[in-house]
Amino acid sequence: MHSSQDTIYAQATDVIADFAFDSKVAGVFNDMIRRSVPGYAQIINTLGDLAERFVTPNSHVYDLGCSLGSATLSIRRHIEGRKATIIAVDNSESMLARCRENLHAYRSDIQVDLVCADIRDIQFNNASMVILNFTLQFLPPEDRDALIAAIYAGMQPGGILVISEKLCFDDEVIQQLLDERHLDFKRANGYSELEISQKRSALENVMKPDTMEKHQARLAATGFKHFSPWFQCFNFTSMVAIK
Ligand code: GEK
């Protein structure tokens, strides 16, 4: 996928607006997420492997907050011939327009429905796999339990929910330790101190991470039978929950 370099926060700005998934972000998103999220490429690849293992014939796969379609593309490659439908949802028109182009660049017999909507308004049914790849953290915390409950209700027994997130930690020493490692990761990927601090301010009101314990408790309370993080690098994780 072609992507321009992310220089959105490279110039000093007096007032930093809340982060939004607008056309400027959509244009550099591939570069931004790879340079900001440790393990992103591995997580995308593993979503494909999990799809191969879990997606059942004639079922639905939901990719919630699909952005440019990286997860959908990885999954689609692994489930050819199964007559499953992928429902890829995002409420950013700019993201979906680019996602559509990316999907059309490859041939596939798998139907993908691209839906411009808020993920809180989706009716889930017949789902063998649901993906929240770095999306739940952007939902207001008070809306998260209801979304997970709606997803659970629409899943097949044995279906898998994959949630990838930035984490926060109750232990302040660990919080600081892993946060520093993440900042070093961004520095090593060419972001300046100014870019890092301006992006941080922009995200402050928009992205609210949970602790791992909070995720686990929510999933257990909803009824998921099995839970495990399968990936963690610094303060980023990917977790699986099986109904
Ligand atoms: C990937 N999953 O590349 N309803 C619908 N979409 C939403 C909502 C909402 N309420 N809130 C945020 N989004 C992708 C990466 S990015 C993560 C996901 C990040 C969308 C938003 O428009 C954006 O495209 C996506 O969720 C979050 O695997 O930028 O760190």
What is the tens place of the pLDDT at every residue in 58-71? 999 999 999 999 99
**Quick one: average pLDDT of 220-230?**
98
Whether the per-residue pLDDT at 100 is higher than 90: the answer is yes
**Quick one: average pLDDT of 25-30?**
76
Q: What is the pLDDT of residue 9?
A: 63
% residues pLDDT > 90 (the chain): 78
Q: Strand 60-64 to strand 127-133: parallel, antiparallel, or no bridges (unpaired)?
A: parallel
Measured at the CA of 33, the angle between CA 236 and CA 62, to 5 degrees, comes to: 80
Residue nearest to atom 22 of ligand 1 (CA): 92
Best mutation site among 67, 68, 136, 144 for ligand 1, i.e. most ligand atoms within 8 A of its Cβ? 67
Helix (H) or strand (E) holding 25: helix 23-36
Gyration radius of the chain over CA positions: 18
pLDDT digits (tens, 9 = 90+) for 153-212: 999 999 999 999 999 999 999 999 999 999 999 999 887 777 677 778 777 888 999 999
Best mutation site among 90, 166, 199 for ligand 1, i.e. most ligand atoms within 8 A of its Cβ? 90
Question: Ligand 1: does its nearest atom lie under 6 Å from the Cβ of 118?
Answer: yes
Q: Tokens at residue 215, please?
A: 């995720």
**Quick one: average pLDDT of 14-36?**
77
Question: Ligand 1: does its nearest atom lie under 6 Å from the Cβ of 56?
Answer: no
Where residue 26 falls among pLDDT bands split at 50, 70, 90?
confident
Atom of ligand 1 nearest to the CA of 43: 28
Whether the per-residue pLDDT at 136 is higher than 70: the answer is yes
d(Cα 217, Cα 57) in Å, to the nearest integer?
A: 31
Atom of ligand 1 nearest to the CA of 21: 22
Ligand 1 centre and the CA of 162: distance in Å?
14
Atom of ligand 1 nearest to the CA of 92: 22
Helices and strands (DSSP H and E) totals, the chain: 8, 7
Max mean pLDDT range (27-31, 33-37, 75-79): 75-79
- Amino acid letter for position 22: D
Question: Ligand 1: does its nearest atom lie under 6 Å from the Cβ of 224?
Answer: no
**Quick one: average pLDDT of 79-90?**
96
Where residue 108 falls among pLDDT bands split at 50, 70, 90?
very high
Q: What is the pLDDT of residue 3?
A: 64
The helix/strand/coil state of 1 is coil
The helix/strand/coil state of 95 is helix
Q: What is the pLDDT of residue 200?
A: 80
Q: What is the pLDDT of residue 2?
A: 54
Q: Tokens at residue 55, please?
A: 């997606």
Best mutation site among 6, 18, 21, 236 for ligand 1, i.e. most ligand atoms within 8 A of its Cβ? 21
Whether the per-residue pLDDT at 88 is higher than 80: the answer is yes
